[in-house]
Structure 1
Amino acid sequence: MIIVNATLIPKEDKKDEIINMADDIITESRTHKGNIAYNMVEDVENQQLKILEKWETKEALENHMQTDVFQDFGSNTKDLLQKEPKVGIYFAELLNDKSGKEKTEIKLIHYD
């Protein structure tokens, strides 16, 4: 599984505008082949927005990044951010115990 954690730092008074714009990308991305989860959360302590995504494969994520909705969200929010989004992309591998039962812990490997 691929996990994406993108941090957006809105310019002053632009947070709500970004949240409103995110509705399309969230709704549509959840229908993209290979999507497991797609959410935006607000980090009220740091005044940031986080986009949290889970994809079945790296290829599914790459295909998503080529869609109009992804490209449009990036270009439409670019001037509303203090700086470029910080994006971490991770490969998560489910670990098993000796009995073969699935554990809830995962191993994360960061992609650049």
Structure 2
Amino acid sequence: MDLLRTFGFGQIPQDAVNWALFGILMVSMIGAWIVDSIMQDLGFGVFLNGALLFFGSIAGIVLWNMYYMPITSTDAMLVVAVAVGSGFLAVLLAGGLRSLTH
């Protein structure tokens, strides 16, 4: 629960947090499937797309924390949006770089 408080979920009831996390996971899976479909013709596999999404999300959160505002004072949904957006951006940039090199 400490991690959830860190991301701003401390004052929300546990049932609402569970449903929100379920929704985030479902949207992330659908997004990963879409990104995988887009990048499939470039030779990207499921695991590489997953790794790019994960590391891109972590990098986006770290950069947000370093240059904009601390994670602890950011709204939880904004943190999720930053993570998902930066993960998708990482995959799209990697696909663009790969298409430039081939």
TM-score normalized by the length of structure 1: 0.26
**Higher percent of residues as helix:** 2
Query: Normalized per residue, which structure has more strand?
Result: 1
